[in-house]
Structure 1
């Protein structure tokens, strides 16, 4: 037998032995603290993927499974809904607030969200239990105090970011984010910023840093001390001890940017590629659309029924003048003055609709999950961003050439209709997004497989400390060498000022000498 064949057989046998050694199922605790269905869908995809990989998982959320899944255990925490009710109702109004106030509102929401979970009776029972877990997976959604669960259960901490790389998330693993080409995800900038945009980006990041260090993190620290009084690690030690952060992003979906080794892109892991037949009414409505169709949804949290009547009328006027059929996720059964080319429903199977060949474009709020699904299915977008990373995502859509961003606050029927007509008539938008779809799908393994691998990897290596960057232990001023630059500045100023000081001293001595000599002469 040739040597290379023997080596190949030995390698395969060794791989089999290793895989068998790693096949013992782990038990994970996953905490999905967001009340948004779209956020939950990302976490649920990972949870089910881990169960299918032979593991067991306990999921804390507000969306328990309707049908029991072996190995998947629910802990329902309805108190989160009560804690967040006011925040969800105010989402439409947030568009009228300045960006600085939006950030403050997010942090205040985080305080209510974190406390709401901690005081939930079902969560309290979990905290008091003697259960053991091999790793804790926490959604990173303005809830840093909850990361104390890792020490509480003596297990590695894994973060799951259902959005982008906000500063308080990248802080967990010390991931770099150069302000020169990485815009804050709440800003409508791309990675090719003008001087003015870079100035705004740096200024907003500085504002966020101050707000984090002197408002948000101290508030989360109080919650941490209140609900984890027996934890030995301080709040700041705990939050910088994450073993891994999975981020719902991918370079083909956004801008290229650097990440630390334990920050892994798994964008789109909730898309399994499986399609279901559309409900008969929807299928017939789409098939009857001679000129194609438009799909319009503002996601799971923004309810179209809560729109002001004047805004609804502008939207209806725009749709009324279109040749295309329109599907609109509208949460009321009755919509006055509804045109014949419009189909409304409080729920649509979004991925199945986007996959339909008659659907030409997607009108969206620009959330990460919606833009990912539009790219996956090769459909261009018209964005009406309202809050958070939606402006960032739509800025990328415009730069890449697969979308048009409109100002929802000043939305008029003519502008809305013109954008739709432009995107369905200009083939370049569709060509671009189909190219992006091809690049996104061209991965060595699926995003879900990648996520499962890394969760298993850090678990079997007891936290995989070798992946952790030294940046995780640095304060922001140390990370950016602010203290070093201050020393250099001090030395520079000293070297410049020293000659002047010496000259001034010499002048003073000369004056004193002259005065003394003059006095001697007078005597």
Structure 2
């Protein structure tokens, strides 16, 4: 407690010093009382998800801790590591991991995601729901939490916050805010290939709008019914709008997110990067320092090649370009369990054994790599990425050209978006990845970038990301404090509510005015008609002549 009071005082002194340096008006306007009258208690909860669900929010929590607030982090057993080096954060386990359930680990995650896998995901969520929900309610009440930050797929967190009448914010990488969901924006991460409908065919749009929902209901109906019963047993309304009164913290920005009108409860705070920087080890530094044109390959924490044939094609693409002099080395961060062949034969007929010295001088295949440090190195010229948002953020920040190799969910839309912006090329599922020659050619185009067009676009995006990346953490922390100090007794932020909530459908769209105008013209027409009927006939009657 003493530590937080000291931090609280120091933070105010720093603010005063900064304001004195930047703008003397704040000295003149210094209020007699300050809104930070006492520290607040904040909970961040995640029930499922990898590092992109945790790490960037940790940086926001660090900033809130520096402002003197008390932080609690509640998550599953497998994710406790994200706060391991943060003694200032109180960490609480809310149960075992959902990701290690045998029903998930025994299935391949593809795109579009199979209904069988989605059914398993719903059942697993239902099995863990009571444990996560009760644990979070207990954490909120025991720690006198003032506001909660819930990860966007952590549904028990929303319900626990509502049960305890606490205001909550929703953290997300992809903008899934319901109020920003317009007819031309695609948000079905399980099967979409594009973030908007601009380039979609009519048949594809029709399928995604009408056919797919019916297929999903047919296949997932029983699982949804089972989940509904479990929620009702907890006295939780199953399908209500949980986010309607909450601010959505979106770690994204226009350039990746689809530009469109946004609601007052949606805040783009991105890009906020990972909470740690992995420096190069001597082994990686030596490899990069002795090469000039290195391609880095990484498919994220949870995705990998489907089989050794796919891995073989990836290696053939790399080695073909090595033999052509396009690149002189590569590093592949292939997660544990990635299927790899014993040897690879290139288009020229040369065979490389993966355990040979000849191969290891060209390429390094490792189960883990310091991605941030590698992307920072000047020898790295291209990043072959699964197109996960955090990886894209890191690559663009360092000004690296990208060859997209999407594997899951929103990654396809991300790769498509950057390709259309001229920042990257990407390898499609159906056309490119089964043809080594096409893969080889696309990688060559990205690495060589003969006319410099790709790098010019990358440089524009690099400026965009560096500009916005400098203020993201502060901005997100400010919004959390806004919720802490301005939410009403119901946990709502009425000053951010769209005024349309208070208007009828007719008034909201000015339809009442149009109806009034239409009524005026109708009455005018009727009046003119009456005038014509009564005036014109009398004036047109023949006059009698007097004899």
Q: Using structure 1 for the length normalisation, give the TM-score.
A: 0.75
Question: For residue 65 of structure 2, what is the aligned residue in structure 1?
Answer: 51
Instruction: Describe how 1:48-447 pairs up with structure 2 within 5 A.
Output: 48-61=62-75, 62-65=78-81, 67=84, 69-81=86-98, 84-92=101-109, 94-95=110-111, 99=112, 102=114, 105-106=117-118, 108-113=120-125, 115-116=127-128, 118-119=130-131, 123=135, 126=138, 130-141=142-153, 143-162=154-173, 164-166=174-176, 170-171=177-178, 175-180=179-184, 186-189=191-194, 191=196, 193-194=198-199, 196-197=200-201, 200-201=204-205, 203-206=207-210, 215=221, 221-227=228-234, 229=235, 234-235=237-238, 239-271=242-274, 277-290=279-292, 292-304=293-305, 307-321=306-320, 322=322, 323-331=327-335, 336=342, 337-338=353-354, 339-340=359-360, 341-408=362-429, 410-426=433-449, 427-443=452-468, 446-447=471-472
Q: Does the C-alpha gap of structure 1 residues 235 and 116 become closer, same or farther in structure 2, counting only changes over 3 Å? A: closer
Contact 2:303–2:408 (8 Å) recurs in 1 = no
CA distance in 2, matches of 1:450, 1:363: 31
Q: Does the C-alpha gap of structure 1 residues 361 and 144 become closer, same or farther in structure 2, counting only changes over 3 Å? A: same
Deviation readout 1:393-426 (Å, 9 max, x if unpaired): 0110110011111124643332222211110111
Question: For residue 453 of structure 1, what is the aligned residue in structure 2?
Answer: 478
CA distance in 2, matches of 1:202, 1:258: 24
CA distance in 2, matches of 1:110, 1:454: 32
CA distance in 2, matches of 1:67, 1:109: 28
List gaps (5 residues or longer) in structure 2. Answer: 1-19, 343-352, 516-547
Q: Does the C-alpha gap of structure 1 residues 398 and 151 become closer, same or farther in structure 2, counting only changes over 3 Å? A: same
Question: For residue 467 of structure 1, what is the aligned residue in structure 2?
Answer: 496
Deviation readout 1:464-498 (Å, 9 max, x if unpaired): 22212367899xxx89x9xx9xxx9xxxxxxxxxx
Deviation readout 1:365-410 (Å, 9 max, x if unpaired): 1112112222222112111212210111011011001111112464
Contact 1:28–1:135 (8 Å) recurs in 2 = yes
Contact 1:145–1:223 (8 Å) recurs in 2 = no
Q: Report the number of matched residues.
A: 451
SS of 1:314's partner is helix
The CA deviation at 1:207 is 5.6
CA distance in 2, matches of 1:348, 1:200: 39
List gaps (5 residues or longer) in structure 1. Answer: 489-523
SS of 1:80's partner is coil
CA distance in 1, matches of 2:461, 2:468: 12
RMSD of aligned C-alpha atoms? 3.7
The CA deviation at 1:71 is 3.2
Contact 1:77–1:117 (8 Å) recurs in 2 = no
Q: Does the C-alpha gap of structure 1 residues 86 and 460 become closer, same or farther in structure 2, counting only changes over 3 Å? A: same
Q: Does the C-alpha gap of structure 1 residues 90 and 17 become closer, same or farther in structure 2, counting only changes over 3 Å? A: farther
CA distance in 1, matches of 2:96, 2:71: 21
